Amino acid sequence: MDVKLRIFLIFLLFLGMIMIFKMIKGKKLAMKYGMYLTIVLILLLILVIFPNIIENIATWLGFKEAPNMLFLLAIFLLFYMVFRLYTNISKLQEMNKTLIQELSILKNELKKK
């Protein structure tokens, strides 16, 4: 990998980290999602600084090409993130349903008085 490309990628990764921290500070991004993204960015930073790690791990795991391993890892990471988001949506829907039911009960009691 060319040195100029590495420097550019490192700059982009640090810029991404700064954006994530600003979004967490401004309460636009939840801390747990910010932590996931920060961990991913740190791993990417390590891989940009030491690109041979990717090839060594890919060879050790039996992949013929390192990009194949990276695509597979990215797909698994995205599936995991989607799964976590769906579980959070399910919890929020249940909480919303409970709040609506409690509000209806309170309104009904106020009408009776």
**Side chain identity at residue 66, one-letter code:** A
Higher-pLDDT residue of 2 and 12 is 12
Position 113 scores a pLDDT of 77
Say how far apart CA 8 and CA 6 lie, in whole Å: 5
At what angle are helices 52-61 and 66-112 packed, to 10 degrees?
90
- The half-sphere exposure of 70 on its side-chain side, counting CA atoms within 13 A, is 13
Say how far apart CA 67 and CA 49 lie, in whole Å: 17
Say yes or no to pLDDT of 112 above 90: no
pLDDT averaged over the chain? 92
Residues 48-101 have pLDDT tens digits of 999 889 899 999 999 998 889 989 999 998 999 899 999 999 999 999 999 999
Position 33 scores a pLDDT of 86
Going from N- to C-terminal start, the domains of the chain cover 1-50, 64-113
**Side chain identity at residue 54, one-letter code:** I
Residue whose pair of structure tokens reads 């990276």 in the numeric block: 70
